[in-house]
């Protein structure tokens, strides 16, 4: 099943990185390293989260139950510093779910706002493509090093240039996991990656009554 990532979890640290992009280097008789790229590279992530109050605590416990060890998947948000800015110069908001202050609701739900169409594709792109033509509807610029997602897949920008006056093109990695149609949403405010737990014991923590705000470290691997 696909579990909804808990919106009450507080982010302390997070790191995303690609793994398996190349085979283990082999040395030739001359000592030169031979590096062979693969088609099986995927994202890895590790995060430290903190939970406040009964709602946050129980929501995380429910999330662990829904993930069923390594069986379940979830859309892990990719939070980073120095994020894109809108046309008013404001950093785009990472938070999209509002909770009810001081309220304990049996399902711990929040009010989730629809994603804003700030960037969309200007043309269709095929499977395994590493370039996208984009329309910047309400974004000043997309900078190399920033992240975005299309659907359930995470990508990182390598280069951004104008392919024609007013036409924007980005190069990124990893390649597209599936073909993308013209007009598809390019999520830059809250990019996500479809992932599963690396081990069956991820996210567990001692049930210590002395712990005011439990902290957990959890590891994910991209679900392909």
Taking the C-alpha atoms of residue 190 and residue 182, their distance in angstroms, rounded to an integer, is 21
183-208 pLDDT, tens digit per residue, is: 999 999 999 999 999 999 999 887 76
Kindly state whether residues 146 and 64 are assigned to the same domain: no
Whole-number pLDDT of residue 54: 81
Whole-number pLDDT of residue 166: 85
Residue 16 has pLDDT above 80, yes or no: yes
29 found inside a domain: no
Taking the C-alpha atoms of residue 62 and residue 66, their distance in angstroms, rounded to an integer, is 6
Kindly state whether residues 89 and 180 are assigned to the same domain: yes
State the distance between the two ends of the chain, measured CA to CA, in whole angstroms. 14
Give the up-direction half-sphere exposure of residue 119: CA atoms within 13 A in the CB hemisphere.
27
Kindly state whether residues 112 and 48 are assigned to the same domain: no
* pTM attached to this predicted model: 0.86
Residue 209 has pLDDT above 70, yes or no: no
208 found inside a domain: yes
Q: With left for phi above 0 and alpha for psi between -120 and 50, is residue 82 left, alpha or beta?
A: left
Sign for the CA dihedral angle at 97, 11, 53, 65 comes to positive
Whole-number pLDDT of residue 18: 92
Kindly state whether residues 19 and 73 are assigned to the same domain: yes
Kindly state whether residues 19 and 112 are assigned to the same domain: no
74-115 pLDDT, tens digit per residue, is: 999 998 888 899 888 888 877 766 666 655 555 666 666 677
144 found inside a domain: yes
201 found inside a domain: yes
114-166 pLDDT, tens digit per residue, is: 777 899 999 999 999 999 999 999 998 899 999 999 999 999 999 999 988 88
Kindly state whether residues 95 and 162 are assigned to the same domain: yes
Decide if 176 contacts 126 (C-beta within 8 A).
yes
Whole-number pLDDT of residue 26: 75
Whole-number pLDDT of residue 102: 56
Region 1-8: mean pLDDT is 87
Kindly state whether residues 87 and 164 are assigned to the same domain: yes
Kindly state whether residues 135 and 122 are assigned to the same domain: yes
Domain that holds residue 146: 82-189
**Domain CATH for 126:** 2.40.30.290
30 found inside a domain: no
């Amino acid at each position: 099943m696909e579990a909804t990532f808990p919106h009450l979890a507080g982010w302390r640290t997070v790191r995303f990185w690609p793994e398996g992009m190349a085979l283990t280097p082999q040395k030739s008789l001359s000592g030169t390293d031979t590096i062979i790229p693969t088609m099986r590279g995927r994202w890895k992530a590790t995060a430290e989260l903190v939970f406040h109050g009964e709602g946050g605590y129980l929501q995380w416990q429910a999330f662990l139950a829904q993930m069923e060890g390594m069986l379940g998947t979830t859309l892990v948000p990719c939070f980073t510093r120095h994020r894109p800015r809108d046309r008013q110069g404001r950093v785009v908001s990472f938070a999209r779910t509002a909770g009810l202050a001081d309220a304990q609701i049996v399902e711990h739900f929040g009010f989730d706002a629809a994603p804003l169409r700030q960037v969309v594709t200007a043309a269709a792109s095929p499977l395994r493509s590493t370039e996208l033509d984009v329309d910047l509807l309400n974004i000043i610029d997309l900078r190399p090093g920033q992240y975005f997602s299309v659907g359930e897949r995470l990508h990182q920008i390598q280069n951004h240039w104008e392919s024609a006056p007013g036409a924007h093109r980005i190069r990124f990695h990893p390649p597209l996991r599936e073909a993308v149609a013209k007009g598809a949403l390019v999520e830059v405010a809250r990019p996500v990656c479809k992932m599963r737990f690396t081990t069956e014991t991820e996210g567990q923590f001692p049930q210590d009554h002395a712990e005011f705000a439990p902290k957990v470290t959890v590891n994910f691997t991209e679900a392909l």
